Amino acid sequence: MPNQNPLFIPGPTNIPDRLRHAMNVQTQDHRAPDFVKTFAPVLEKTKTVFATRDGQIITFPASGTGGWEACITNTLSPGDTVLVARYGMFSHRWIDMCQRHGLDVQIIECPWGSGAPADKFEEALKADTDHKIKAVLVTHNETATGVKSDIAAVRGAMDAAGHPAMLFVDCVSSLGSMEFQFDNWGVDIAVSGSQKGFMLATGMAILCVSPKALAAIETATLPRTFFDFRDMMKANASGGFPYTPPLNLIYGMAEALKMLEEEGLENVYARHHRLAEGVRKAVAAWGLRLVAQSPDLYSDSVSAIYVPEGFDSNKLVARAFDAYGVSFGIGLGEMNGKAFRIGHLGSLTDVMVLSGLATIEMAMADLDYPIALGSGVAAAQEYFRTTRADTLKAAA
Ligand SMILES: *Cc1c(COP(=O)(O)O)cnc(C)c1O
């Protein structure tokens, strides 16, 4: 029965029954005329989630990491300079990928727990008078630390410097959970995946590409074949795919988009904020500390939480799984052993979050953490109970 428990890792996320059923389809011929009817509306509707009009949606059978690779290989050439800040495991991994592709990566080192430093980007861009920097890469939601960065501020810094670099954003763990504004933030490529906010199985990288980034393909010389945007766009234009499409995920995506539309994106974001606030109330009641340095950086999809001095967060996560059959995120990279993570994104309700808080409390009590059993749960209960729309109405 433990496989009935919800997951509290920040991705892959819980797959609602409705989406599991939607993905359960018999093989179909992707060259048959009816494939167009399934796929074309998916591409069109996905634009809503990115909040774009002119952005081009491009998908690949891949995870988010493949999306990163598609992003850089389509737009950059060996030796090109890119500007990136490192403040967690995911920004680190994107940097590593750029280096392995022979890009010249100008890195701004930031403490883990902080976010994208718009002021430092502006400085670096202003200093780059001959425009060597071709792209600024930003992780919107750093899943390792539970930090959300201000993409509008990064765009503001680029504009203030009058710099023509492209802006590439990793929104794998934010899209469909937290507000994202592709057009308004002047993003050139946004990279996401199927297994987080879209609540689907892993296997589809989902990108949104600006006209400026599309134009860059013509002169960019990094090698690409499987991930060539042009092959994908050419095939998609006639409703097809340049190779075998991940059919089940496309069906799942059609249904996931329906679910997000029915709930309404604003409500989806509000629900994530609410769930995250409940978790943060619990963290405060335990007397523990978030890795995110200040409230403006708090992520609504994942919380990274320091364990008290002298405790090992790996043992806590192991205890929750071994004793209670519930998965939480371990501390990644610099945070290993020091912090654990509660994923609170995707298909999740107040009640599910309470079950996660209750479980991690039991694991903490088992390991003699200095916390009072029930304290975090009670704080979250009180928050959830008193902030329901109907409660507020009754009190008015
Ligand atoms: C999950 C995630 C990725 C992609 O990881 P994959 O395992 O390749 O899907 C990239 N960036 C962030 C911020 C993520 O949370």
User: For residue 339, how far is its CA from the centre of ligand 1 (angstroms)?
Assistant: 19
Q: Output the residue whose Cα is nearest ligand 1's atom 12.
A: 172
The residues that bridge with 84 in the sheet, in sequence order, are 107, 137
Nearest-5° Cα angle at 114, 108 to 119: 55
CB distance 69 to ligand 1 below 6 Å:
no
Q: Best of 95, 143, 200 to mutate for ligand 1, by most ligand atoms within 8 A of CB?
A: 143
Residue 305, helix vs strand vs coil: strand
Q: Comparing C-alpha atoms, which of 76, 73, 100, 55 is closest to residue 226?
A: 73
Walk me through the domains of the chain, giving residue ranges and CATH numbers.
17-261 (3.40.640.10), 265-395 (3.90.1150.10)
CB distance 90 to ligand 1 below 6 Å:
yes
Output the six-digit token pair for 204: 């589809």
Q: What is the pLDDT of residues 97-155, one digit of tens each?
A: 999 999 999 999 999 999 999 999 999 999 999 999 999 999 999 999 999 999 999 99
- Point out the residues of the chain with pLDDT beneath 50: none
User: For residue 137, how far is its CA from the centre of ligand 1 (angstroms)?
Assistant: 14
CB distance 63 to ligand 1 below 6 Å:
yes
Question: For residue 346, what are the CA distances in angstroms to 137, 177, 199, 200, 260?
Answer: 25, 7, 5, 9, 10
pLDDT of 394 reads 67
User: For residue 195, how far is its CA from the centre of ligand 1 (angstroms)?
Assistant: 9
In single-letter form, the type of residue at position 3 comes to N
Q: Which residue has the tokens 């990928």?
A: 97
pLDDT of 18 reads 98
pLDDT of 158 reads 98
Output the six-digit token pair for 349: 């309700």
User: For residue 173, how far is its CA from the centre of ligand 1 (angstroms)?
Assistant: 7
CB distance 173 to ligand 1 below 6 Å:
yes
- 8 Å CB contact between 34 and 193: no
Q: Best of 63, 171, 198, 204 to mutate for ligand 1, by most ligand atoms within 8 A of CB?
A: 63
Question: For residue 14, what are the CA distances in angstroms to 63, 164, 201, 360?
Answer: 17, 40, 9, 18
Q: Which residue has the tokens 């978030």?
A: 290
User: For residue 336, how far is its CA from the centre of ligand 1 (angstroms)?
Assistant: 17
Tell me how long the chain is: 396
Q: Read off the pTM.
A: 0.97
pLDDT of 246 reads 96
CB distance 174 to ligand 1 below 6 Å:
no
